[in-house]
Chains A and B, each alone.
Chain A
Amino acid sequence: MSPRYSMAVDTRRCVGCNACVIACKEENALPPGAFRDWIATETKGVFPHLQQEIRSERCNHCARPPCVRVCPTGASHVNAGGTVLVSPRKCTGCSACITACPYDARFINPKGYADKCTFCLHRVKQGQEPACVASCPTRALAFGDLGDPQSPVARALRARTPKVLKAETGTEPHVFFTR
């Protein structure tokens, strides 16, 4: 059975240190002003009774990705392990996928194509973790095959209550947040 790559972000462990952001930029040689992952800090409540959640966010590699649906050339596609990728040579830079993504996870690379998180598939194929996961100093990020009960992501999701972002959009994200 083919794997279903997923990620779990433990919001109780994440301290928003940006190590994942910098590691991603280094690993993927992203130009200035381009981010495939980022830190979201959400504060809720009424002072002094506030709750804060820090999340390391990225493309959710949705099972029903609207970006792939609207792409007119097939540049946006679902690749190995359910990862949503872009073929730069097929991309026209029309931005339809960017407007279709409810998470604003995509951007236009200065080279002219839509760019986004790849789950570092080039590393994963060599048996390594994605750069963001490998760099996390608090082990807040877990990655692996959701179908393998022994994978770090499956264990992390068993241990805590997971949620996904904007579940109401029906995109079935595969980046989970636990608390």
Chain B
Amino acid sequence: MTELDLNRHNLYIDPHLSVWGWEIAVYLFLGGLAAGIMILTATLGRAPPAERSRWGRLLVFAAPVALSVGMLALLLDLHAKLHVFRFYTTLRVTSPMSWGAWILIAIYPATILHGLGSLTAAEIDRLAAWRPLRALRLGGLVTWGAGCAGRHEGAVRGANAVLGVALGVYTGVLLSNLGARAAWNSALLGPLFLVSGVSAGAALSMLGPLSHAEHAALRRWDLAAIGLEVALLLLYLLALASGAERSGQGAAALFLGGRYTAPFWALVVIAGLAVPFALEIAAGRHGRRPTLVAPVLGLIGGLSLRWILVLAGQA
């Protein structure tokens, strides 16, 4: 036997690490969701305006909203909230959290420009005349932004796609960079959180009234993302379980018989991946009217994945 007894009892550290809670899980989920929306709206934006629904056009605005709520959760997690400005007084090349802080800032102009470019002329006029914007003398900026987005449509969509991928991967790298925690010590978390974010973005999109073409396109994206997510999850578990390090094997055991087995398989794999995949295949093959079940389950699965992994890394 080997038994290690510590007389230390630091708050959030002992008996096991518990510094990161729901705030980080929600932040990582909403960050991934925003990334997914940015990537998907960048591809949907290639369709002619006539084929696009109002919901599909306005969807891009969900990215900055989701990100803002996520950043609020992140702020709640900080123990020195008044020092939050310190993220923006430096760029630490070796710190993914520092990179992420700057990526988040770049996302606002990119998504808002893309959103303005997706509006019709009448919608732009209504928005520019909106009383709060008028009071802040921002009406002209809205019109200028919409014109600018229209002139550089391809560049704006490209920036959204690139920043979306950066944001999605960053949410995973944030954890995978912390090699001291066995369940996070995997380079697969970056791509895993990226495809999970795309799936969550597609799920959120499918909650609203999309056109038939948009729905079919998003369903294809979601099916591909779910397929990739399953493959990456399998590789992640295999790499942990078959690795030489005992800590990695212990982390894999958390999902294969240990503490997080039931929530992981029930909420992430079955409810979040298998059921939405089956429902979307059925909807596509048999032309069934899509319901909200698949997207709601997809969103629950995406949040559960982050939550369980955040906790498992500290187990």
Contact = CB atoms under 8 A, between A and B. Distances in A.
Nearest to A70: B95
Given A70-B95, A71-B95, A99-B314, A41 B10 contact: no
Contacts, number: 137
Interface residues of B, number: 44
Contacts of B1: 43-46
Contact of B83 (A33, A93, A95): A93
Given A71-B95, A95-B20, A40 B6 contact: yes
* Chain B contact residues: helix, strand, loop or mixed: loop
Contacts of A99: 17, 19-20, 178, 180-181, 184, 313-314
Nearest to B91: A72
A70 B79 CA distance: 17
Contact of A102 (B77, B180, B313): B180
Interface of B: 1-14, 17, 19-20, 77-81, 83-84, 86-87, 89-90, 92, 94-98, 101, 177-181, 184, 245, 313-314
Contact of B78 (A69, A75, A94, A100): A94
Given A98-B13, A99-B20, A73 B77 contact: no
Given A21-B7, A96-B95, 6 more contacts: A40-B4, A72-B95, A99-B19, A100-B179, A104-B17, A108-B19
Contacts of B86: 72-73, 75, 90-92
B7 A70 contact: no
Contacts of B78: 92-94
Interface of A: 18, 21, 33-35, 38-46, 57, 66, 69-75, 89-96, 98-102, 104, 106-108, 112-113, 168-169
B2 A100 contact: no
A38 B7 contact: yes
A79 to B, nearest CB: 17
Contact of A70 (B12, B77, B81, B97): B97
Nearest to A92: B83
Nearest to B11: A33
A107 B11 contact: yes
Contact of A69 (B10, B79, B94): B94
Contacts of A98: 12-13, 17, 19
A71 B3 CA distance: 32
Contacts of A44: 1-3
Nearest to B175: A99
A57 B14 CA distance: 15
A44 B4 CA distance: 9
A108 B20 CA distance: 12
Nearest to A100: B178
Among A43, A94, A98, A169, chain B packs the most CB atoms within 10 A around the CB of A94
A90 B90 CA distance: 11
A104 B97 contact: no
Contact of A107 (B3, B4, B13, B96): B13
A21 to B, nearest CB: 7
B7 A72 contact: no
Nearest to B101: A72
B257 to A, nearest CB: 25
Nearest to B184: A99
Contacts of A90: 83, 86
A42 B4 contact: yes
Nearest to B24: A95
A113 B11 contact: no
